[in-house]
Amino acid sequence: MLVGGQIRFSWSSYNGKSMREYLFVTASTTFRCKRCAKCCSLDVMLSDGEMDALGEAADRKWRTTVKKVKGSRLACCLLGGRSCTIYEARPKLCRVYPFMAAPVSEFVELGVPISVDAKRASAGGGEEYVVMYDELCPGVGEDGDGGEDMMAEVIFLTRAHLQEMRLRR
Protein backbone atom coordinates (compact mmCIF):
# COMPACT_ATOMS: atom_id res chain seq x y z
CA MET A 1 0.00 0.00 0.00
CA LEU A 2 1.36 3.44 -0.94
CA VAL A 3 1.11 5.89 1.95
CA GLY A 4 2.48 9.43 1.75
CA GLY A 5 5.04 8.44 -0.86
CA GLN A 6 6.26 5.49 1.17
CA ILE A 7 5.40 1.86 0.85
CA ARG A 8 3.74 0.39 3.88
CA PHE A 9 3.82 -3.32 4.49
CA SER A 10 2.87 -5.61 7.29
CA TRP A 11 5.33 -7.51 9.36
CA SER A 12 4.20 -10.52 11.29
CA SER A 13 5.38 -10.96 14.87
CA TYR A 14 7.20 -14.17 15.78
CA ASN A 15 4.10 -16.10 16.81
CA GLY A 16 1.77 -14.68 14.20
CA LYS A 17 -0.48 -13.13 16.84
CA SER A 18 -0.21 -9.59 15.62
CA MET A 19 0.70 -7.58 12.57
CA ARG A 20 2.97 -4.58 12.81
CA GLU A 21 3.44 -1.95 10.17
CA TYR A 22 6.80 -0.49 9.32
CA LEU A 23 7.67 2.41 7.03
CA PHE A 24 10.97 3.08 5.31
CA VAL A 25 13.37 5.55 6.88
CA THR A 26 14.03 8.46 4.53
CA ALA A 27 16.38 11.45 4.69
CA SER A 28 13.71 13.40 6.57
CA THR A 29 13.03 10.78 9.26
CA THR A 30 13.92 11.99 12.74
CA PHE A 31 13.60 10.32 16.12
CA ARG A 32 13.82 11.18 19.77
CA CYS A 33 12.64 8.71 22.38
CA LYS A 34 9.79 10.17 24.44
CA ARG A 35 10.28 7.59 27.19
CA CYS A 36 6.64 6.59 27.08
CA ALA A 37 7.58 2.89 27.57
CA LYS A 38 4.91 1.77 25.07
CA CYS A 39 7.47 -0.43 23.34
CA CYS A 40 8.02 -2.37 26.57
CA SER A 41 4.59 -3.95 26.03
CA LEU A 42 5.66 -5.46 22.71
CA ASP A 43 7.11 -8.91 22.09
CA VAL A 44 10.90 -8.74 22.11
CA MET A 45 12.50 -11.73 20.42
CA LEU A 46 15.54 -12.99 22.34
CA SER A 47 18.60 -14.95 21.25
CA ASP A 48 19.82 -17.88 23.36
CA GLY A 49 22.54 -15.70 24.87
CA GLU A 50 20.05 -13.02 25.82
CA MET A 51 17.71 -15.60 27.39
CA ASP A 52 20.58 -16.99 29.44
CA ALA A 53 21.56 -13.48 30.55
CA LEU A 54 17.97 -12.60 31.51
CA GLY A 55 17.37 -15.82 33.49
CA GLU A 56 13.88 -15.87 34.98
CA ALA A 57 12.96 -12.68 33.13
CA ALA A 58 13.03 -14.69 29.86
CA ASP A 59 10.03 -16.68 28.65
CA ARG A 60 11.74 -19.68 27.06
CA LYS A 61 8.60 -20.99 25.41
CA TRP A 62 7.97 -17.81 23.43
CA ARG A 63 11.59 -16.60 23.46
CA THR A 64 10.59 -13.18 24.76
CA THR A 65 10.87 -11.24 27.98
CA VAL A 66 8.31 -12.26 30.61
CA LYS A 67 5.37 -9.89 30.75
CA LYS A 68 3.35 -8.91 33.80
CA VAL A 69 0.22 -6.86 34.32
CA LYS A 70 1.29 -3.28 35.00
CA GLY A 71 -1.57 -0.88 35.50
CA SER A 72 -4.04 -1.53 32.70
CA ARG A 73 -1.69 -3.40 30.36
CA LEU A 74 0.85 -6.15 30.03
CA ALA A 75 4.46 -5.01 30.04
CA CYS A 76 7.94 -6.46 30.36
CA CYS A 77 8.72 -7.56 33.92
CA LEU A 78 11.99 -5.61 33.67
CA LEU A 79 10.19 -2.30 33.35
CA GLY A 80 10.32 -0.17 36.50
CA GLY A 81 7.96 2.78 36.17
CA ARG A 82 8.82 4.05 32.70
CA SER A 83 12.44 2.93 32.80
CA CYS A 84 14.19 -0.27 31.87
CA THR A 85 15.85 -1.72 34.97
CA ILE A 86 18.56 -3.35 32.85
CA TYR A 87 18.95 -0.45 30.43
CA GLU A 88 22.69 -0.90 29.79
CA ALA A 89 22.22 -4.63 29.22
CA ARG A 90 18.87 -4.63 27.41
CA PRO A 91 18.36 -7.00 24.45
CA LYS A 92 19.38 -5.92 20.96
CA LEU A 93 15.85 -5.53 19.65
CA CYS A 94 15.08 -3.18 22.55
CA ARG A 95 18.15 -1.15 21.57
CA VAL A 96 17.14 -0.75 17.94
CA TYR A 97 13.42 -0.12 18.49
CA PRO A 98 11.54 1.56 16.77
CA PHE A 99 13.87 0.66 13.91
CA MET A 100 14.59 -2.56 12.08
CA ALA A 101 17.04 -3.17 9.25
CA ALA A 102 16.78 -5.60 6.34
CA PRO A 103 19.00 -6.35 3.34
CA VAL A 104 17.87 -4.87 0.02
CA SER A 105 18.39 -8.34 -1.51
CA GLU A 106 15.55 -9.77 0.62
CA PHE A 107 13.09 -7.22 -0.76
CA VAL A 108 14.20 -8.05 -4.29
CA GLU A 109 13.84 -11.78 -3.61
CA LEU A 110 10.34 -11.33 -2.18
CA GLY A 111 9.29 -8.90 -4.89
CA VAL A 112 8.53 -6.18 -2.31
CA PRO A 113 9.25 -2.72 -3.77
CA ILE A 114 11.43 -0.29 -1.85
CA SER A 115 10.29 3.33 -1.72
CA VAL A 116 12.39 5.54 -4.01
CA ASP A 117 13.20 7.88 -1.13
CA ALA A 118 14.16 5.10 1.30
CA LYS A 119 17.64 5.65 2.69
CA ARG A 120 20.10 2.89 1.90
CA ALA A 121 23.29 2.10 3.75
CA SER A 122 26.18 -0.19 3.03
CA ALA A 123 26.86 -2.97 5.51
CA GLY A 124 30.19 -3.87 3.91
CA GLY A 125 30.94 -6.67 1.48
CA GLY A 126 28.72 -5.06 -1.14
CA GLU A 127 25.62 -5.68 1.00
CA GLU A 128 23.09 -2.86 1.11
CA TYR A 129 20.45 -2.37 3.79
CA VAL A 130 17.32 -0.30 4.27
CA VAL A 131 16.00 0.67 7.69
CA MET A 132 12.34 0.81 8.65
CA TYR A 133 10.48 2.17 11.65
CA ASP A 134 7.38 1.16 13.55
CA GLU A 135 4.87 3.90 12.86
CA LEU A 136 3.26 3.34 16.27
CA CYS A 137 6.27 4.77 18.12
CA PRO A 138 5.45 8.36 19.16
CA GLY A 139 9.14 9.30 19.12
CA VAL A 140 9.39 9.13 15.33
CA GLY A 141 9.08 12.60 13.87
CA GLU A 142 10.39 14.28 17.01
CA ASP A 143 13.49 16.44 16.59
CA GLY A 144 16.52 14.31 17.23
CA ASP A 145 18.71 11.67 15.67
CA GLY A 146 18.13 10.63 12.09
CA GLY A 147 21.62 10.49 10.72
CA GLU A 148 24.09 7.98 9.38
CA ASP A 149 25.23 6.93 12.87
CA MET A 150 21.72 5.81 13.74
CA MET A 151 21.44 3.81 10.49
CA ALA A 152 24.80 2.15 11.09
CA GLU A 153 23.94 1.21 14.69
CA VAL A 154 20.57 -0.27 13.71
CA ILE A 155 22.13 -2.29 10.89
CA PHE A 156 24.96 -3.54 13.11
CA LEU A 157 22.66 -4.66 15.94
CA THR A 158 20.02 -6.17 13.66
CA ARG A 159 22.65 -8.17 11.77
CA ALA A 160 24.12 -9.40 15.06
CA HIS A 161 20.65 -10.43 16.25
CA LEU A 162 19.84 -12.27 13.02
CA GLN A 163 23.21 -14.01 13.12
CA GLU A 164 22.56 -15.24 16.67
CA MET A 165 19.09 -16.46 15.68
CA ARG A 166 20.54 -18.36 12.69
CA LEU A 167 23.15 -20.02 14.89
CA ARG A 168 20.50 -21.72 16.98
CA ARG A 169 18.81 -23.41 13.99
Which residues in this chain contact ligand SF4 in the complex, by CB under 6 A? 33-40, 44, 65, 76, 78-79, 84, 86, 90-91, 94, 97-98, 137-139
Residue 141 CB, nearest approach to ligand SF4 (Å): 10
**8 or 34: whose CB is closer to ligand SF4?**
34
**90 or 161: whose CB is closer to ligand SF4?**
90
Give the span between the Cα atoms of 22 and 168, in whole angstroms.
26
Residue 157 parent element (H or E): helix 148-167
**66 or 152: whose CB is closer to ligand SF4?**
66
Residue 20 CB, nearest approach to ligand SF4 (Å): 12
Residue 124 CB, nearest approach to ligand SF4 (Å): 27
Using CB atoms within 10 Å of the CB of residue 147, give its burial: 0 to 12 exposed, 13 to 18 middle, 19+ buried: exposed
Is the separation of the CB atoms in 47 and 165 below 8 Å?
yes
**103 or 138: whose CB is closer to ligand SF4?**
138
Is the separation of the CB atoms in 151 and 119 below 8 Å?
yes
Minimal CA–CA distance to 18: which of 51, 41, 2? Answer: 41
Residue 93 CB, nearest approach to ligand SF4 (Å): 8
Cα angle, residue 49 at apex, residues 45 and 50 outer, rounded to 5° = 45
